[in-house]
A and B are shown apart, each in its own frame.
Chain A
Amino acid sequence: MSLLDMIGPVMIGPSSSHTAGACRLGLVAHHLLGEAPRRALIGLHASFAKTGRGHGTHLALVAGLLGFAPDDPRLPRAFEEAQAADLRVEFKDMDLGDVHPNTALIELHGDTQHVTVQGSSTGGGAIQVTQVQGLGVNFSGAAPTVLLRYTDAVGMIARIATTIAADGVNIAALTCTRETRGGQALLAIELDAPLSAEALAFLNRWPDTNWVRLLPKLMDG
């Protein structure tokens, strides 16, 4: 918690958890997709499903998918903006199990890419992303974050960390999960500064790498 978490965020009302936080969850999916979004299926859990509509949660999520920040004045018109941008969205009430009451599961498709993101709005506009592409992660979007999906192999994490160090960037936190030994693994690395485009491209060139994205810092200040 920093001072700027207590006075802030600057946001479109009416609720920091149900509006600003929801928008940021949508933004995570937007950035991880990496191309124009065309179709989304959004599952809303517990309190998001029950009281979301009155708090503009649906609008905020769609605004995020379109790349609008929580203080974007277009947020209340997000459905019209989505129509204009050729993005179709379907909402569904879902029981996502033993998770935070303000949780959403987003499946987002572009023309060539797709991404799934599950995350919770934990209060005051803060979020926690708990799943990407079906694999467990744990990051908040408060720092630039590299997401990397690769085939599990000896030394991969060391090579990735070396590449990041060579770029002069410090790692703040890291989570790694894999489906099975030698199967698909997902690494989420929170950084003290954004990674350069060159380093990102380098990570992407390796044959074991399947997918790389850099999520910019979502919180201002």
Chain B
Amino acid sequence: MTLEELMNAPAPASSWVLAQDCQETGLDPHDIRAEMARRLREMRASIERGLNSDAKSITGMVGWNAKGLWDAPDVLGAPLLKRVQAYAMAVNEENARMGRIVAAPTAGSAGTIPGALIGVADHLGLPDERLVDPLILAAGVGKAISKRMFISGAAGGCQAEIGSSAAMAAAAVTELLGGTPRACVHAASLALMNSIGLVCDPVGGYVEVPCVSRNAFYAVHAVSAAQLALAQLESFIPPDEVLGAMASVGRMMPPELRETAEGGLAQTPTGLAVAARMEGKAGGEQPSGMVELPLA
């Protein structure tokens, strides 16, 4: 399945995606929809937990951002913006403190889709039943992307993870708001073309900095893409060509900027200090709850 095929599919795009997937896997569409509904509930539960917790992450670098923003006054007069950002960070802070999340498509990018999709739905007062089909479309867009490139920071930099999640979220929000398959795919394409080049340079190699705030930024990015596409604005470069460009940029990226913590933010003096502190913990005193057991 290519983005081009998806763009020209009969509306709604999610129905076509579901039919295609059932044909390939032999799974029952009702089972997939039921499982997707369960995963949606898991996403919402992780948002709830994240917004109500300020427990620190494994390293202590994050853990209070979502609650901090959620409890803060809306100084911009932009409740949608604040909601989307807080939801996205809530999920990734849960992830960073070893809470339960839904990888979408990865754990490091798990906040983008729930942030954008559930954030917009709650802002507009739409029920969760309306979100299952958009989530199926998001998965379909992810499938189309994964046919062209590896969806992992180690393989293609952060663009491969957060770029993919933003594209998936953009398509989902567009369908939720009545967009045509063409609009959904162009939303995904706009999100992708504006994520190209993002490197994966996590401090100390942990899925915390910049990952948590990046999910807030790219959840908003997805909503921006949906807004443009719903106004009939399109990606000038055709979606599959954008995907090809992203894959090629991924291949050009040096290994230092692909999840190895050997470049970028990870190599700042502060980043190195965090890595050294955690290394000390790993070698000597264990982080709490990590006790190595002697062999009998």
Measured CA separation A2–B24 after assembly (Å): 8
Q: How far is the CB of A166 from chain B (nearest CB, A)?
A: 22
Chain B residues in 8 Å Cβ range of A16: 103, 106-108
Chain B residues in 8 Å Cβ range of A3: 17-18, 21, 32, 36, 136, 139-140, 143
B135 within 8 A of A: yes
Nearest-neighbor residue (CB-CB) of B145 within chain A: A6
B163 within 8 A of A: no
A9 within 8 A of B: yes
A59 within 8 A of B: yes
Measured CA separation A80–B146 after assembly (Å): 38
Measured CA separation A47–B295 after assembly (Å): 23
B56 within 8 A of A: no
B293 within 8 A of A: yes
Identify B207's interface contact among A1, A6, A14, A124, CB under 8 A. Answer: A14
A58 within 8 A of B: yes
Contact of A123 with B39 at beta-carbon distance under 8 Å, contacts A12-B100, A15-B207, A75-B98 already known: no
Identify A53's interface contact among B18, B136, B282, CB under 8 A. Answer: B282
Contact of A7 with B139 at beta-carbon distance under 8 Å, contacts A12-B98, A55-B207, A124-B151 already known: yes
Chain A residues in 8 Å Cβ range of B135: 7
Q: Are B296 and A39 in contact (CB under 8 A)?
A: yes
The winner among A5, A10, A19 for most chain B CB atoms within 10 A is A10
A194 within 8 A of B: no
Q: Are A56 and B98 in contact (CB under 8 A)?
A: yes
Nearest-neighbor residue (CB-CB) of B33 within chain A: A3
Q: Which of B119-153 contact A (CB under 8 A)?
A: 135-136, 138-140, 142-143, 146-147, 150-152
Contact digits for B85-110, partner A, Cβ 8 Å, 1 yes 0 no: 00000000011111111111111101
Contact of A54 with B206 at beta-carbon distance under 8 Å, contacts A3-B21, A6-B142 already known: yes
Measured CA separation A125–B101 after assembly (Å): 13
Contact digits for A1-29, partner B, Cβ 8 Å, 1 yes 0 no: 11111111111111111011000000000
Query: How many of chain B's residues touch chain A, expressed as a range?
Result: 35 or more
Stretch among B67-75, B240-248, B284-292 lining the A interface: B284-292
A51 within 8 A of B: yes
Chain A residues in 8 Å Cβ range of B94: 13
Number of contacting residues on A, CB 8 A? 52
A198 within 8 A of B: no
Measured CA separation A186–B94 after assembly (Å): 42
A185 within 8 A of B: no
Q: Are B293 and A14 in contact (CB under 8 A)?
A: no
Q: Are B98 and A8 in contact (CB under 8 A)?
A: no
B5 within 8 A of A: no
Q: How far is the CB of B255 from chain A (nearest CB, A)?
A: 11
A31 within 8 A of B: no
Measured CA separation A220–B102 after assembly (Å): 13
B261 within 8 A of A: yes
Chain B residues in 8 Å Cβ range of A12: 98-101
Q: Are A76 and B98 in contact (CB under 8 A)?
A: yes
Q: Are B204 and A54 in contact (CB under 8 A)?
A: yes
Chain A residues in 8 Å Cβ range of B26: 192
Contact of A14 with B206 at beta-carbon distance under 8 Å, contacts A3-B32, A3-B139, A53-B290 already known: yes
Q: How far is the CB of B195 from chain A (nearest CB, A)?
A: 17
Q: How far is the CB of B167 from chain A (nearest CB, A)?
A: 11
Chain B residues in 8 Å Cβ range of A8: 39, 102-104
Nearest-neighbor residue (CB-CB) of B291 within chain A: A79
A213 within 8 A of B: no
A205 within 8 A of B: no
Identify A90's interface contact among B142, B282, B294, CB under 8 A. Answer: B294
Nearest-neighbor residue (CB-CB) of B150 within chain A: A123
Q: Are A2 and B290 in contact (CB under 8 A)?
A: no
Contact of A79 with B289 at beta-carbon distance under 8 Å, contacts A6-B105, A13-B96, A54-B206 already known: yes
Residues of chain A having any CB pair with chain B under 8 Å: 1-17, 19-20, 38-39, 41, 47, 50-51, 53-56, 58-59, 71, 73, 75-77, 79-80, 82-83, 87-91, 101, 123-125, 192, 220-221
Residues of chain B having any CB pair with chain A under 8 Å: 17-18, 21, 24-27, 31-32, 35-36, 38-39, 42, 57-59, 94-108, 110, 113, 135-136, 138-140, 142-143, 146-147, 150-152, 154-155, 168, 204-208, 261, 278, 282, 289-296
Pairs of residues from A and B, 5 with the lowest C-beta to C-beta distance, nearest first:
A13-B95, A6-B142, A3-B139, A6-B139, A90-B295
- Please give 5 more A-B residue pairs, beta carbons under 8 A apart, in addition to A3-B36, A54-B282, A55-B205: A7-B139, A14-B107, A54-B59, A88-B296, A90-B295
